[in-house]
Chain A
Amino acid sequence: MFDRRLLTHFDWVLLLMIGLIACVGILNLYSATASWSAATPVYLKQISWLGIGLLIAFAICIFDYRHLEYLGFLFYGINILLLLFVLFFGKTSMGATRWIDLGFFQLQPSEIMKIVIIITLARYFGDRGNLRGHTFSELLPPFLLLGFPALLIMKQPDLGTAMLVLFIGGTMALFAGIRRGTLAVLSVLGTAAAVGGWFLLHDYQKERIRTFLNPERDPLGSGYHIIQSKIAVGSGGFFGKGFMEGTQSQLSFLPERHTDFAFSVFAEEWGFAGCLVLLLLYLLVILWGIYIARRSSDRFGMYLALGVVAMLFWHMVVNLGMVIGLLPVVGVPLPLFSYGGTSMITTMIGVGLLLNISMRRFMF
């Protein structure tokens, strides 16, 4: 039953690029946490997460992604239940309730939701080949599908993830096509929602946005991250301070330098030249992902690939924008670069889906 073409059509290019970025990321983590004394060094943990992630990605490759089309709504339902569970019984850490304690693992349903919403919307848009773009009423179901979990996630509160879920859905909808009139109405509504949403934000979230607009207003508090990160990035110059020579990171001025601000460490030590190379790699992954979507053999695959690309893209853009002071600090990790099992596994699930779609492009 196994089609030999699957092996011959395996997407080595994508795997190579992902592998490259992951290796640079691990090297970077090695430098960022060199001064720490821990039983298991962070970079070793990250290597094991990468290993697990790769296994998952390969596992995803084995079955045909098209089965997901039918499983999508089931996943969606389960995921909503998990989010509700978190809302009422979740584990609270650092003021946010995002996790379900499984003993060996802290499950974060909002992370899984990113993938599930991609599958769900891929099915919705894949089913409707609208020639003239979607109307308002056609967009209502996906809007509800997207809005409900987004609200639940925002409630945790996890503004970053909620925003990402909305961005992913929005990107997919936009690609599927929206009528001009509808788009105009949506833009107005969106602006109104943003303004209204301000009042729904938690104080600390408002504070982050205010601080983002003017970091100096609280240089030792919430503005500290942005200021120190900009100092790290800026002081890197063209060629950087050299591997493990970044004073901002090695001397711990940079907060969360192994997670959200891992890129600042990289920028400080490798400079503009290094950043250029890394950003090109990321961009190539995105463009290659779009290429996979374009070549996919069905609409579901196309939307699925696009959704994954949107997920990776927004993670990159939001994280990079945040550490270089273009966007507020919202706690979004940089795929393959920030330390963390959840992020790594979500990313590798996405990569697995891309590989899956890519190798099955000749299946008809």
Chain B
Amino acid sequence: MSIDSEWAIPGLKNRFLLISLAAVAIFLLLLCRLWYLQIINTERYSELSEKNRIRYLPISAARGPIFDRDGKLLVDTRPSFDVAIMRQDMDDKDLLLERLAYYLDADTETLGRNWKSGVGFPAYRPVPLAEDVGRDAMERIQENSVDLPGVLTEVRSIRAYPYADFAAHIFGYLGEITERELQTRGGEGYRGGDFVGKSGVENLLEPYLRGSEGQRRLEVDVKGKELRQLIVREPMPGNRVYLSLRHDLQLAAETAFGDQAGSAVVLDVRTGEILALVSRPAFNPELFARGITGPEWIALLQDPRHPLQDKAIKGQYPPGSTFKIVTALAALEAGVVTPSTSYDCEGSMTLGDSKFRCWKKRGHGRTDLEKALRESCDVWFYKAGLETGIDRLSEMAFALGLGARTGFPLDGEKDGLIPTKQWKRKRFRAPWYNGETVIAAIGQGYVLTTPLQLAVMTAAVANGGTVLQPTLIKRVEDWQGKELLPSERMISNTVQLRPGNLAAVRRGLEAVVNAPHGTGWASRLDGVKVAGKTGTAQVVRLKSDEEKEKEKDEKEEPYRFRDHALFVAYAPAAAPEIAVSVVVEHGEHGGSAAAPIARNILETYFGLGTQTPVGEPGDAGD
């Protein structure tokens, strides 16, 4: 029963129809909008929703381990527990840092500083706040993650050096990638904050050691709290590097140095493989792995004994009497002397107005080649060198691998210096003088060599004239044991030496160590015949006689003016296997300071155990 008639407004029906239609129309409009969002744009919004909840985080790859030639682990990685913060997920920064400081047992200021250093980062990139916090702190953080919105914990692998400063210069160190490295290595997937090899093997084999990082996918809520995580891609650890080093030899050499500064190189004379390469003092690469501090870095840089420098390849020393091997071979090959050529040594030789002294004031008397080498008679070599001439001396030196980089794979090898007439003309615009030939003949004057070059030369003498390029990398394997980078024996040069001449020199070198008056007596071994040559390199050149007299009155010369002590050796003398060169900075006498270190190395190599030093050195004057 409609009662429209009673109170009706005209056209009421139409009005009801109209508002009903209006309502339907507005609902249709809403539906259209929903259609637009949910059907037409579903993909776009799905993607945005994924982006909202998913964080992709890299998993750092463990860097490849480094072994010695026998598979002894020398450099490893260990987990470092790091704490970072995702700025887009946190709310109250100050409160958060305060809480973190409490859980980490750190101070808020340090955290605040680290926080500031990440200010320029994009919001989705975690800002590192604390590194290597330890497992306990890590667990505290994870347990209290509800209080710490935006805080991420990450496990990064960092370099571990179980033997502290052992072979530090060979391994080198890691450091955070620089802006420039990022540009040059941009294509290789490096990112800011990555650690890369800065020196040594770490730098040389960076592409092999690095591995490839993995990725994990985190589902997070709006506060960045981890809800679930999935590994998307496992990281691939770096490859395994086997060095040609022998851990025991390296250790023996380093130990033998004690507190002394200097360098030792041990080579396999048959292959050119480096068995030990010592530079002392050294540094602990762990400092760099965990991030070196400013003061630590400055202390290393300013240390007068240069712990960062690899003295084996960068140290350039006058070779002193070890150079007499070169002079002897040059003179013999030039035919100016024979093994039986004798000179009289009366303690000095006069040339023009100059008087060149023998280290032995009384003189050696009648001296032939063997005696000259054995007792390191300067006068014999002055005369032989003068006869040979500088150019033939330098030619032999170059041929034996001195005065130029050996081709050793590590960065920064120095050339040393072998003077020639031409060099002097170019360098000083001055003619060459005979007096300069005289002092060059005993490894003084302009002559500079690196310990590595001396080892290469010694190896060439030992193996009959083959100058080998020293190698350090034995092989690189992936984790399945597949060889990626085999070692190669590389010959730099073959020196044609008449067998008689070489034999004569080698006889002399054997006498240095084994004859009663030999200067290398201190490296003599029971059971294995060692051949060698001592040397003393003057640090202060061209001292006047007056100065020398004055110095004799003073009991102690200041450390930095003391002569360097050198010794080169190979063994066994008859069928040589290894060559050794040792330089002890400011060690004064090769026979007393350097030879014992070589002896320790040789003992270890031949498995002889520690022998007591044998008697008195004959004449440790050189």
Of A220, A236, A317, most B-chain CB atoms within 10 Å: A236
Q: Which residues of A are found within 8 Å of B26, using beta-carbon distances?
A: 313, 317
Contact of B1 with A by CB under 8 A: yes
A238 and B27 in contact (CB under 8 A), knowing A177-B9, A272-B34? no
B53 touches A251 (CB 8 A): yes
A364 touches B3 (CB 8 A): yes
* Shortest distance between the CB of B298 and any CB in chain A (Å): 43
* Shortest distance between the CB of B2 and any CB in chain A (Å): 8
B10 touches A235 (CB 8 A): no
Q: Which residues of B are found within 8 Å of A364, using beta-carbon distances?
A: 3
Of B15, B27, B45, the contact of A230 (CB 8 Å cutoff): B45
Q: Which residues of B are found within 8 Å of A248, using beta-carbon distances?
A: 49, 52-53
A233 touches B45 (CB 8 A): yes
Give the docked Cα–Cα distance between A286 and B28 (Å). Answer: 14
Contact of A11 with B by CB under 8 A: no
Residue on A with the closest CB to B46? A235
- Residue interface mask A308-332, B partner, CB < 8 A = 1: 0000010001001100111000000
Give the docked Cα–Cα distance between A231 and B51 (Å). Answer: 10
Chain B positions 28-84 with a Cβ under 8 Å from a chain A Cβ = 29-31, 33-35, 37-39, 41-42, 44-46, 48-50, 52-53
Q: Which residues of B are found within 8 Å of A171, using beta-carbon distances?
A: 19
A320 touches B30 (CB 8 A): yes
* Shortest distance between the CB of A358 and any CB in chain B (Å): 15
Of B200-208, B216-224, B508-516, the segment with at least 4 beta carbons within 8 Å of chain A is: B216-224
Q: How large is the interface on B (under 10, 10 to 19, 20 to 34, 35 or more residues)?
A: 35 or more
Q: Which residues of A are found within 8 Å of B29, using beta-carbon distances?
A: 326
B219 touches A324 (CB 8 A): no
Q: Which residues of A are found within 8 Å of B222, using beta-carbon distances?
A: 251-253
Contact of A140 with B by CB under 8 A: no
Give the docked Cα–Cα distance between A326 and B28 (Å). Answer: 13
A237 touches B53 (CB 8 A): no
Q: Which residues of B are found within 8 Å of A228, using beta-carbon distances?
A: 52
A234 touches B3 (CB 8 A): no
* Shortest distance between the CB of A53 and any CB in chain B (Å): 23
Give the docked Cα–Cα distance between A293 and B48 (Å). Answer: 45
B9 touches A290 (CB 8 A): no
A279 touches B20 (CB 8 A): no
Of A83-91, A186-194, A294-302, A348-356, the segment with at least 4 beta carbons within 8 Å of chain B is: A294-302
Contact of A247 with B by CB under 8 A: yes
Contact of A232 with B by CB under 8 A: yes
Q: Is the contact region of chain A dominated by helix, strand, or loop, or is it mixed?
A: helix
Contact of B119 with A by CB under 8 A: no
Chain A residues bordering chain B, tally (CB within 8 A): 50
A297 touches B38 (CB 8 A): no
B23 touches A283 (CB 8 A): yes
Q: Which residues of B are found within 8 Å of A321, using beta-carbon distances?
A: 30, 33
A234 and B42 in contact (CB under 8 A), knowing A177-B9, A253-B53, A253-B222? yes
Contact of A287 with B by CB under 8 A: yes
Residue on A with the closest CB to B220? A251
* Shortest distance between the CB of A116 and any CB in chain B (Å): 22
Contact of B7 with A by CB under 8 A: yes
* Shortest distance between the CB of B92 and any CB in chain A (Å): 15
* Shortest distance between the CB of A326 and any CB in chain B (Å): 6
Contact of A129 with B by CB under 8 A: yes
Residue on B with the closest CB to A125? B9
* Shortest distance between the CB of B23 and any CB in chain A (Å): 5
Residue on A with the closest CB to B41? A234
Residue on A with the closest CB to B30? A320
Contact of B608 with A by CB under 8 A: no
Residue on B with the closest CB to A310? B19
Contact of B559 with A by CB under 8 A: no
A324 and B34 in contact (CB under 8 A), knowing A175-B15, A251-B219? yes
Contact of B227 with A by CB under 8 A: yes
A267 and B48 in contact (CB under 8 A), knowing A252-B223, A253-B222, A297-B3? no
Residue on A with the closest CB to B48? A231
A231 touches B38 (CB 8 A): no
* Shortest distance between the CB of A286 and any CB in chain B (Å): 5
A234 touches B44 (CB 8 A): yes
Give the docked Cα–Cα distance between A245 and B178 (Å). Answer: 45
* Shortest distance between the CB of B266 and any CB in chain A (Å): 62
* Shortest distance between the CB of B371 and any CB in chain A (Å): 89
Of B7, B35, B44, B53, the contact of A247 (CB 8 Å cutoff): B53
Chain A positions 249-289 with a Cβ under 8 Å from a chain B Cβ = 251-253, 267, 271-272, 275-276, 279, 282-283, 286-287
Q: Which residues of B are found within 8 Å of A272, using beta-carbon distances?
A: 34-35, 38-39
B30 touches A279 (CB 8 A): yes
Give the docked Cα–Cα distance between A306 and B48 (Å). Answer: 42
* Shortest distance between the CB of B612 and any CB in chain A (Å): 75
Chain A positions 190-241 with a Cβ under 8 Å from a chain B Cβ = 220, 228, 230-238
Contact of A131 with B by CB under 8 A: yes
A279 touches B27 (CB 8 A): yes
Contact of A12 with B by CB under 8 A: no
A238 touches B49 (CB 8 A): no
Interface residues of A (CB under 8 A from B): 35, 129-131, 171, 175-177, 220, 228, 230-238, 247-248, 251-253, 267, 271-272, 275-276, 279, 282-283, 286-287, 290, 293-294, 297-299, 306, 313, 317, 320-321, 324-326, 362, 364
A-B contact pairs, 9 of them (CB 8 A): A230-B37, A233-B45, A238-B42, A247-B50, A251-B221, A267-B38, A272-B35, A290-B16, A293-B16
16 new A-B pairs (CB below 8 Å) besides A233-B45, A251-B53, A279-B34? A233-B34, A237-B42, A247-B53, A248-B49, A251-B220, A253-B53, A272-B34, A279-B31, A287-B20, A306-B19, A313-B26, A320-B30, A324-B33, A325-B33, A326-B33, A364-B3
Which 8 interchain pairs have the tightest Cβ spacing?
A: A234-B45, A235-B49, A252-B222, A237-B42, A234-B37, A251-B221, A272-B38, A235-B45
